[in-house]
Structure 1
């Protein structure tokens, strides 16, 4: 069975004077139509780079050095820039972290939405304005006719993010990549935006790749999850199973760091140390300097990414063994 999106052994490097540094090291996952997936990890794990690599927006000195990104049977990494422009924004849209950096401050919202549509479709100004108005209504912008003539600075942060979502949806894409879409918003607005994004993806049957460090958000929105660390996926599976029964020590640390996981009066857990830089990734398992279960093998051998149960749970950890009924692999 073919998937809408297949990422196979994707590798991204950055060419520097001291040599090429690997930012994404052979990750694989897939996404079906209407499916919602979370990419989770701390800053520096490689989540955003993965999102940019999917739509071939890696800036120099970065480059895709290996693997394939297959969308509807096409290898996106092999397409020309002209061919990618047909895919990017039209079939796969991206919601970036900061709406003020995404929206042009000197153009009205209507102008930006109409330009986006006319860049991908041969339609008149009136037709484009009608579609823009419809999308603003879908993201619950009040008085949308009036808002089309306003500028980004006239909106609150939450409203700007709704407009960015409307622009991402304006071409009816098959997939939306949302890169930390609620970073600059307060908690109550974050919840509203995520609820809206989930509802829109469900109603439009749009696939979603949600990039975030917040496992709490992912658990509410996505169906499956991939946890990244130092450029690799260390655990993946159904969101409910990964969140409720994490196998990898890193995933366990992220779950324990959620305020909602605490007993009354308990101290908030913290994973010791920091994510390694690309120039200082340790041998063996990259997580070994911070891992409470670390043994000699963890410092010397890179763990294989293997299934550990019957529901497609995959984990890369020497200390996690397959369930007995699965046998050895």
Structure 2
């Protein structure tokens, strides 16, 4: 059975005066219909660039320099802007960190939703209004009829993010890419939004790629996970198995840094050092300057992403053998 989305050896570079910098270095993963996947890592790991590359929205000086993004049998990296517009926002929707960046402050919610539908579907305005109302109900916005006539500033942050999700659902997409969708919200609202996204993906059979630095959120919502570091996937597998038995030292560090992983009152663990910038990614394993297991081979050879234990989990680490 072929996958709904298949990313094969994707590479993204940024063309700068002194040469090209590699932001995404040959990553591969697949997503099936209705499947929920998490892309996890610190800032600078390449998660958001991956999301933008899937929908071919890398802005200059960035460009896709290699690999494929196969969606329903078509390679999205080869399509024209016009062909991509039919897919982007229609079959693949994206939800961003800050809802105020997505919503137009001078248009009512109803206008924005109706215009989105009219741009993608050959339907009447009355039909578009009916769909907009239905989607607002789906994301549990109270008194949706009244809300359609309101402006973005009249909503709380959590409500705005619900509206952004409703807009993403307007065209019944096959995949939603959610880029840190709860970062700007407080913890209780975060949990509500993530529950909502999970319910919607299950009921609509929509695939989800959740981009986040928060392993706690990923473990609640996704079925599989890919941990990214310096533009590469360093560990991947079913979410419950990666979270309960992380093998890569970086994944172990991320999990130990979660507040709930320690005794109350204990100091939080943190991974020493910083994610390397694109200009100074070290030779060998990019994580080696921060890693307590680092050996000579780690400084000299880049570890391949290989199966460990069984085929379900893969890890890119010279020190992990089983």
TM-score range, shorter chain: over 0.9
Whole-Å separation in 1 of the counterparts to 2:115 and 2:276:
41
Shift, 1:84, TM fit: 0.2
> Is residue 2:9 matched to residue 1:16?
no
Alignment length (residue pairs): 322
Tell me, what secondary structure is at the counterpart of 2:216? helix
| CA deviations over 1:175-209 (Å, ceiling 9, x no partner) | 00000000100000000000000000000000000
Unaligned runs of 5+ in 1: 324-329
Q: Secondary structure at the match of 1:86?
A: helix
Question: 2 CA distance for matches of 1:207 and 1:87?
Answer: 15
Q: TM-score, normalised by structure 1?
A: 0.97
Q: How far apart, in 1, do the equivalents of 2:245 and 2:264 lie?
A: 21
1:265 is displaced (CA, Å) by 3.3
Q: Which residue of 1 aligns with 2:75?
A: 75
Query: How many Å separate the matches in 2 of 1:278 and 1:50?
Result: 15
The answer to whether the aligner puts 1:54 opposite 2:54 as a matched pair is yes
After TM superposition, list the pairs within 5 Å mapping 1:82-97 onto structure 2. Answer: 82-97=82-97
What do residues 274-329 of structure 1 show as CA deviations (whole Å, max 9, x unaligned)?
A: 000000100000000000100111011101110002242010000001x3xxxxxx
**d(CA) in 1 for partners of 2:166 and 2:303?**
42
Report the CA distance between 1:210 and its aligned residue: 0.1
The offset of 1:267, in angstroms, is 1.3
Per-residue CA distance 1:40-79 (angstroms, 9 max, x = gap): 0000000000000000000000000000000000000000
Q: Take 1:87 and 1:108, find their aligned partners in 2: how far apart are those partners?
A: 25
**Partner SS for 1:90:** coil
Q: TM-score, normalised by structure 2?
A: 0.99
1:132 partnered with 2:100: no
Unaligned 5+ runs, structure 2:
none
2-structure distance, mates of 1:196, 1:87: 24
Runs of 4+ in 1 over 2 A off after TM superposition: none
**Alignment correspondent of 2:179:** 179
1:38 Cα offset (Å): 0.1
Who is 1:265 aligned against? 265
